[in-house]
């Protein structure tokens, strides 16, 4: 960043064109960085040189730099005023809603009451406050029969600032995380796979043990009612009593 003391030395006495080029470069650096103090000091020095060197061929360069600084100071004041008014409007919901309604179309008090869903007294006070801040104004309607409220240039600038701030805030807000749901689904899937694998392993082991003649594990409750295979686990049926008697009589 240029040194203000060095730049003021280049602006003392009778500066040359090289001195003015160096000063112009320093002014550009300070404007970008919004360093108002060195810019104000240079502007005061340029105004003095404009009077002292009015007959110099370099006075045109001095006038150009002074005009540039004046435009810069005016823009800085405009930006500061816009930021201050935007902060005030953001703190008053009625003011903000009223500016948004007038951004859609200019309208009278009845239109604003309907758009804001507020009473006439509330809307009237809000309109007076915004007119005092030069954010809205009264203009003739399209039919020329009445005056309606409309946004001024400052009002449009303040509303644009509010919308830009809202967009920047929403873009930096973190998105909601869905990790818990994903983790739960993955866990359920893993548990289901593990259970199925265990069941398959158990059935394979039971089949292998049965084929080898080894004792099998206790049957599950659902299989206890199944009919056992012939010749295994079934009690021999007793012959009827009459049959027994006939056999004994024959003997």
Give the per-residue pLDDT at 54: 86
Per-residue model confidence (pLDDT) at position 223 = 47
DSSP type of residue 151: E
Q: What angle do CA 221, 224, 229 make, to 5 degrees?
A: 150
What burial letters (b/e) apply to 169-191, b meaning 16+ CB within 10 Å?
eeeeeeeeeeeeeeeeeeeeeee
Q: What is the pLDDT of residue 105?
A: 94
pLDDT at 205: 54
List of residues 6+ apart from 98 with CB closer than 8 A: 112, 116, 123, 126, 127, 130, 136
Q: What φ, ψ does residue 108 adopt, rounded to 5°?
A: -85, -175
The token pair at 151 is: 């946004």
What pLDDT is attached to residue 183? Answer: 47
Using 50 as the pLDDT threshold, list the residues of the chain that sit under it.
181-184, 214, 216-217, 222-226, 231, 233, 243-251
Tokens of 184: 């739960």
Residue ranges covered by each domain of the chain: 4-87, 92-171
| 49 touches 69 (CB < 8 A) | no
Give me the architecture of the 92-171 domain, per CATH. Orthogonal Bundle (1.10)
Q: Read off φ and ψ for residue 248, nearest 5 degrees.
A: -65, -35
């Amino acid at each position: 960043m240029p040194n203000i003391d060095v730049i003021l030395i280049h602006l003392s006495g009778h500066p040359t064109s090289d001195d003015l080029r160096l000063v112009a470069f320093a002014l550009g650096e300070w404007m970008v960085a919004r360093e108002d103090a060195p810019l104000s000091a240079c502007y005061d020095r340029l105004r003095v040189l404009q009077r002292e060197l009015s007959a110099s061929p370099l006075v045109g360069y001095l006038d150009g730099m002074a005009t540039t600084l004046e435009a810069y100071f005016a823009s800085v004041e405009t930006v500061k005023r816009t930021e201050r008014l935007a902060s005030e409007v953001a703190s008053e919901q009625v003011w903000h809603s009223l500016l948004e309604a007038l951004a859609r179309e200019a309208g009278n008090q009845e239109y604003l009451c309907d758009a804001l869903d507020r009473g006439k007294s509330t809307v009237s006070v809000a309109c007076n406050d915004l007119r005092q801040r030069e954010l809205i104004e009264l203009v003739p309607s399209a039919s020329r029969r009445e005056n309606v409220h409309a946004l001024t240039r400052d009002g449009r600038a303040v509303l644009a600032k509010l919308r830009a701030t809202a967009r920047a805030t929403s873009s930096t807000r973190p998105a909601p995380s869905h990790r818990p749901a994903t983790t739960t689904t993955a866990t359920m899937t893993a548990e289901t796979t593990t259970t199925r694998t265990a069941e398959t392993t158990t059935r394979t082991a039971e089949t292998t043990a049965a084929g080898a003649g080894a004792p099998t594990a206790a049957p599950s409750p659902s299989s206890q009612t199944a009919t056992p295979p012939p010749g295994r686990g079934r009690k021999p049926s007793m012959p009827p009593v009459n049959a027994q008697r006939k056999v004994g009589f024959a003997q």
